Amino acid sequence: MSKQYETVIGLEVHVELATKTKIFCGCSTEFGGAPNTHTCPVCTGMPGSLPVLNKQVVDYALAIAIATQCEVTPVCKFDRKNYFYPDNPQNYQISQLYLPIARNGFVEIETNSGIKKVRIHEMHMEEDAGKLIHDEWDDTSLVDFNRSGVPLVEIVSEPDMRSADEVLAYMEKLRLIIQYLGASDCKLQEGSMRADVNLSVREVGSPSFGTRTEMKNLNSFKAIARAIEAERQRQIEIIEEGGEVIQETRRWDDNKEYSYAMRSKEDAKDYRYFPEPDLVPIVIGEDWIERIRSAQPELRTEKLMRYKKEFDIPEYDAKILTESKHMADLFEATTAICHKPKKVSNWLMVETFRLMKETGTECEELIFSPSHLADLINLAENKTINSTVAKEVFEKIFREDIDPNIYVKEMGLATVNDEEAIEKAAKQAISENPKSVEDYKNGKEKAIGFLVGQTMKTLKGQGNPGIVKEVLYSLLNN
């Protein structure tokens, strides 16, 4: 390949908002549930029903718009997007086309190639569709409307990204902003964050864009990266072979690592958009924007800076801890109790992450309370328990959120500081292990380790390790 190609990517990101109820009715948005149990005449599109806008949806959309530097549309409206499909009970989706809630924003992303701005073209609110379940056995399709009417925002970027790295950085940035705002949990696997990738290639230096395709069904960051690489290569191959890329929508199959065409531009649907007559325009005054702005929580970038300044923890730690709002909240709440930021950071960075990995737990699923971690840190710091015991106790906290003070007392895990008891155990170890004693006396320093272990064993692991060592040295050396 002699020519150099540049990949041009724009994203349409759908985010399910974290409202308790749906966008146009009072039904629960809870994920799962028996089919058609979170439904009513409105979200099943029954004749005569009418939508009523959930204001919380606008609040969340505004929070995202403000955090992504968008211009808010002072009077925005809903439109109907008409298309027939059984998961769409009215055969139209209430969305926004002509006057979306916000436009012209941007976020800053950081990759190996540096910091850059990705511009946001527009952001709009819309309702999600239901879910079709195909029963192959008796060749029927069933519809579950539980998800029908769950609120979404769609964030449409400009074609500002040039690589999978940039796309992932952009999505990660959006995810962190939105999670921090509490506007969505942004789980790709559960579909609460979804992305369609618009991609084209062009020769480096070419002033115009190539023909783009739209890739759908991307359910993980890894799938996005793989799909981008595959589509980039597919388009370059077509061009190299003298062919032309067709503007079309393609569906990614992550198992086969292959995409196939769903529909081309020629048979693109005409959605016959028009203003939704059942809803009144939303007038967003300065006071509304100000109310949202003033309630805006500290976002990740600001938090990162504050951590470095306020807590004196390594930048690497601060980055990891702030990657999830839940983790950052845990860190701050625990530190506020025990005032030992470095220790808290260590427990989270090492033991917590280890156990999360081991048990397949997400940050959002952590159950332990900050006060219990703080208590544990204090127990370890004032040497009530030694580090081995501390790790054991933490595992109980991690799994069951036990109170470490009570647990240590009940289980008799407090460190044995009693020198007499330690001396007794040490003497027993010496008398039972003459070989090790001899080794030590012959200059094998390491043999002391074995004797420490044996002493600790008698002490059920609760001996104060410093004292144990001291006692052994004095017994052996005298």
Partner 1 sequence: MDNNLMTGVTLGKKIKAKEISVKEALDSYYKKIKEVDLQINSYITLCEEEAYQRAEEVQEKINKGELASPLAGVPYAAKDVLCTKGIRTTCASKILGDFKPTFSATAIELLDNEGAILIGKTNMDEFAMGSTTETSYYGPTLNPHDKERVPGGSSGGSAAAVAAGECAFALGSDTGGSIRQPASYCGIVGIKPTYGTVSRYGLIAYGSSLDQIGPLSNSVEDAAIILDAISAKDEKDSTSVGRDEYGFAKALADDVKGLKIGIPSDYFGEGLNKEVADVILKAVDVLRQNGAIVEEFDLSLVKYAIPTYYIIASAEASSNLSRFDGVKYGFRSDDFEGLHDMYKKTRSEGFGAEVKRRIMLGSFVLSSGYYDAYYLKALRAKALIKEAFNRAFAKYDVIVAPGSPTTAPKLGESLKDPIQMYLSDIYTVSVNLAGLPGITIPVGKDGKGLPVGMQLIGDCYNEKTILRAAYNYERTVEETKCQNNMKQL
Give the footprint of partner 1 on this chain (CB under 8 A).
41, 44-53, 80, 82, 84, 86, 89-92, 143, 270, 272-274, 277-280
> Which token pair is 79?
């439109």
* Residue 107 bridge partners (DSSP): 118
Nearer to partner 1, 25 or 227 (CB): 25
Rounded to a whole number of angstroms, the minimum distance from the CB of residue 98 to partner 1 is 10
Helix (H) / strand (E) element for 112: namely none
Rounded Cα distance between 362 and 175, Å, is 15
Kindly state the smallest distance separating residue 266's Cβ from partner 1, in Å.
13
Min separation Cβ 152 and partner 1, Å:
20
With respect to partner 1, which residue has the nearer C-beta, 143 or 349?
Answer: 143
When the beta carbons of 27 and 380 are compared against partner 1, the nearer one is 27
**Six-digit token string for 110:** 């950081």
State which residue, 77 or 234, has the beta carbon closest to partner 1. Answer: 77
Report residue 173 as tokens: 């940035």
Which amino acid is residue 114, in one-letter code?
A: G
Nearer to partner 1, 52 or 367 (CB): 52
CB nearer to partner 1: pick between 99 and 337: 99
Comparison of 55 and 339: residue with beta carbon closer to partner 1: 55
- In terms of CB distance, is 278 or 362 closer to partner 1? 278
- Cβ at position 54, least distance to partner 1 in Å: 11
Q: Helix 300-311 to helix 315-322 angle, to the nearest 10 degrees?
A: 140
d(CA 218, CA 168): 12
Q: Is the CB of 22 or the CB of 300 nearer to partner 1?
A: 22
86 within 8 A of 143, measured Cβ to Cβ = yes
Q: Please, what is the minimum distance in Å from the beta carbon of residue 18 to partner 1?
A: 23
Nearer to partner 1, 80 or 124 (CB): 80
User: For the CA atoms of the chain, what is the radius of gyration?
Assistant: 30
Distance in Å, CB of 37 to partner 1, minimum = 15
- Which one-letter amino acid corresponds to residue 143? V
State whether residue 127 is helix, strand or coil.
Answer: strand
How far is Cα 396 from Cα 131, in angstroms, rounded to an integer? 40
385 conformational bin, left if phi > 0, alpha if psi -120 to 50, beta if neither: beta
Cα dihedral 292, 295, 299, 305, rounded to 10, equals: 130
Phi–psi pair at 143, nearest 5 degrees: -115, 135
Residue 364 φ then ψ, to 5°: -65, -15
Say if residues 239 and 206 touch (Cβ distance below 8 Å). no
The token pair at 187 is 């789980």
**CB 202, CB 5: distance < 8 Å:** yes
C-alpha span between 62 and 93 (Å, rounded)? 21
Provide the sign of the torsion angle of the four alpha carbons 318, 320, 323, 327, taken in this order.
negative
How many whole angstroms separate alpha carbon 416 and alpha carbon 463?
A: 5
Question: What secondary structure does DSSP assign to 183-194, as a single string?
Answer: S----TTTTSEE
Shortest CB 96 distance to partner 1, Å? 15
Spacing of C-alpha 155 from chain mean position: 18
Task: Report, in Å, the least distance between residue 53 CB and partner 1.
Answer: 7
Q: How far is the CB of 43 from partner 1 (least distance, A)?
A: 12
Smallest distance, Å, CB 46 to partner 1? Answer: 7
Pick between residue 24 and residue 394 the one whose CB is nearest to partner 1.
Answer: 24
Distance in Å, CB of 44 to partner 1, minimum: 7
The neighbour count for residue 354, using CB atoms within 10 Å, is 13
Q: Closer CB to partner 1, residue 48 or residue 207?
A: 48
Least separation in angstroms between residue 265's CB and partner 1 is 12
Beta partners for 142? 133
Distance CA 397, CA 407 (A): 10
Nearer to partner 1, 49 or 369 (CB): 49
- Determine phi and psi for 179, rounding to 5 degrees: -65, -45
Residue 51 Cβ vs partner 1, minimum distance, rounded to whole Å? 7
Q: How many CA atoms lie within 13 A of 33 on its CB side?
A: 15
